[in-house]
Amino acid sequence: MTWFYNLDVNILTYVQEFVRSGTLTYFFEEITDLGNQGLLWIILGLAMLAVKRTRIPGLLVLAAVIASGAIDNMIIKTVVDRTRPFLALPQIHNLVTAHGSSFPSGHTGTSFAAAGVLWQTVPRLYGAGALILAGLIGLSRIYLGVHYPSDVLGGMLIGLAIAVTIVWLYQRSREKVRV
């Protein structure tokens, strides 16, 4: 596992030394703010409740955000308790404030949970846009020095697993009602 940790550190160091710029910093600070507390996805889910044909996808987005917040932040982060990179590595400088454990990235997990639901329940163009935004939110966490790449990868995979599970549970409940 040492090689995996070294890869994490090398990617962070590379981003900090060779990728960071004033324009990108502004862009990624704005992008990361979209993922704060899953608020963007909560607002989107609530807005979708107002239109009859998007009501179910909106409810599923809200369920995914709640599940991701609980699983990522209350369970996994507590169990894993990984130190954030800017606290563990003197060469990494964070550009935004972040608290708590590092693994998994809650911003990324929540974003991919919501975007994964959208990918499965609304026209693909909208789902693809949501997945791209979720990916940018994940990248912002690495760029800003508050998560290791593996934290973001973990958040993405957990978020997508939550999305698949939420939609599957909904579809399964619909099948049972019809019988």
* CA dist., res. 131 & res. 149, Å (int): 17
* Band of pLDDT at residue 179, cut at 50, 70 and 90: low
* Band of pLDDT at residue 135, cut at 50, 70 and 90: very high
* CA dist., res. 101 & res. 94, Å (int): 14
Two tokens, residue 7: 């890869």
The one-letter amino acid at 72: D
Q: What pLDDT is stored for residue 175 in this prediction?
A: 80
Residues 21-60 have pLDDT tens digits of 999 999 999 999 999 989 999 999 999 999 999 999 999 9
Two tokens, residue 100: 């708590």
Closest CA to 68 of 50, 41, 47: 41
Class of 2-178 per CATH? mainly alpha
Cβ(101)–Cβ(81) below 8 Å: yes
User: What mean pLDDT value characterizes the chain?
Assistant: 95
DSSP-derived secondary structure for 19-40: I--HHHHHHHHHHHHHTGGGHH
